[in-house]
Structure 1
């Protein structure tokens, strides 16, 4: 394997690691949002605006995770 090929392989590995790190970060954020969501819905007085924010953030994280995983397929 030539030096150029080794460098390309190392760069590809770094990209994969970066993508996986971002995927894990987004999934953890959604997990944290889930916890907050369930805490809010169990209260008598529900903060509807925060619930909507949480749902929006979760959807955005899910979209980003989907795009990142698509990048790994190529």
Structure 2
């Protein structure tokens, strides 16, 4: 394997690791949002504004995760 091929392989591996790290970060953020969502839902007085924000953030994270995983398919 040529030196150039090795460098390209290393760069590709770094990119995959970066994408996977971002996927994990977004999924963890959604888990944290889920916890907050269920906590708010269980309270007597619901903070509807925050519930909408949580749902919006979760949706955005899911879209980003989807796009990142598509990058790995290439």
1: CA distance between counterparts of 2:27 and 2:51? 18
TM superposition outliers: structure 1 runs of 4+ over 3 Å: none
Q: Cα distance, 1:2 vs. partner?
A: 0.2
Q: RMSD value over aligned CA atoms?
A: 0.1
Q: State the TM-score, normalizing by the size of structure 2.
A: 1.00
The number of aligned residues is 74
User: Tell me, which stretches of 5 or more residues in structure 1 are unaligned?
Assistant: none
1:6-25 correspondence to structure 2 within 5 Å: 6-25=6-25
- Please state whether the residue corresponding to 2:45 is helix, strand or coil: coil
- Please state whether the residue corresponding to 1:50 is helix, strand or coil: helix
